Structure 1
């Protein structure tokens, strides 16, 4: 189960490297709301903060043989977030950061990981709404923290 657990972090790294490489330039395109504008430093900070949560989830999964609720909820969230990438691209009718690795990495890894857990007899923990809500807040909170220096500079003007 260590491959499944640490695979979450590996898949996340590959996926988020695409986002790191494309998000700052993409977010500056005309026609996008100002709220999505992200500098390279902000993207790196947000991705790094989210990475800490993914590393912790992977470690919990490795330590528990995949049984950790935190790991399983993170795995579920990682797989489901593929839908947000596709929906964003459909809504905007263009490429959005993370779209390429969604079908190449996120979805295949997620399907493989759940199948491996089930084949290995790992009990799948029931969903915990509070844990799911907390994990869903990680990415927006990471982006908010990453933007604090910009907001502080703006308030000092």
Structure 2
């Protein structure tokens, strides 16, 4: 008989085999009050996302104006209120994914997709700033906070024997892109009247 362990609620529970007085065997259940590594990693991932998106809440409206000038249309401009609502909606998705990850020891497909997508999203932040040749929303905390948080979560999955796969990154990229579009659509639907209009220089 061997010790059986699991962490259904983020806390490790082990069934330890013991010999009974009658010569048979029984299991003693031992519950660890320490959170599992995956739970800690999931919390770290959400905390990193939260810090990163606080930066985006305050800076995305300015970045949207840069994008509007480049595209020649003010349809992409967002107000601070719209930015805040869209990011809050994304937070629901990220938070739900992290809860699922903690409860399933990182086996949740939603958690794996969101984790891989957030990690890859760091590259898009850097690439966007290079393209614009200026600061864009989220650039500071993407490599300094979001990337380390994602790497901690990735390392925990590897340690647990279920490393992220390239397919997780593909699924995560598609999921987060679609979620961002839907979040901004909803924010415009509810707060569209407050969207500022900017003058686009004619060339």
TM-score w.r.t. length of structure 2: 0.67
Considering fraction of residues, name the structure with more helix: 1
Q: Is the 8 A contact 2:116 2:172 kept in 1?
A: no
Instruction: Compare 3-12 and 90-99 and name the one that shifted more.
Output: 3-12
What's the counterpart of residue 31 of structure 1? 69
**DSSP 3-state at the match of 2:167:** coil
What's the counterpart of residue 42 of structure 2? 5
Determine the C-alpha separation between the residues in 2 that align with 1:51 and 1:93: 29
What's the counterpart of residue 104 of structure 2? 64
Consecutive unaligned residues of structure 1, counting only runs of 5 or more, are none
1:49 to 89, 93, 104: 89
**DSSP 3-state at the match of 1:81:** helix
2:115 to 75, 79, 83: 75
1:139 to 174, 180, 183: 180
Q: Is the 8 A contact 1:4 1:66 kept in 2?
A: no
Consecutive unaligned residues of structure 2, counting only runs of 5 or more, are 1-37, 196-203
Q: Is the 8 A contact 2:114 2:175 kept in 1?
A: no
Shift of 1:108: 1.5
What's the counterpart of residue 15 of structure 1? 52
TM-score w.r.t. length of structure 1: 0.85
Q: Is the 8 A contact 2:119 2:146 kept in 1?
A: yes
Query: Where does structure 1 differ by over 4 angstroms across 4 or more consecutive aligned residues?
Result: 123-126, 128-132, 150-154
Say whether 1:85 aligns with 2:122. no
Q: Is the 8 A contact 1:24 1:38 kept in 2?
A: yes
Per-residue deviation, residues 31-70 of structure 1 (Å, max 9, x unmatched): 3442431101100110010000001101100110111111
Q: Which has the higher contact order (CA 8 A, sep 6+)?
A: 1
Determine the C-alpha separation between the residues in 2 that align with 1:107 and 1:124: 15
Considering fraction of residues, name the structure with more strand: 2
Instruction: Compare 144-153 and 68-77 and name the one that shifted more.
Output: 144-153
Matched positions, count = 154
Structure 1 residues 144 and 3, CA gap change in structure 2 (3 angstroms): same
Q: Is the 8 A contact 1:67 1:123 kept in 2?
A: no
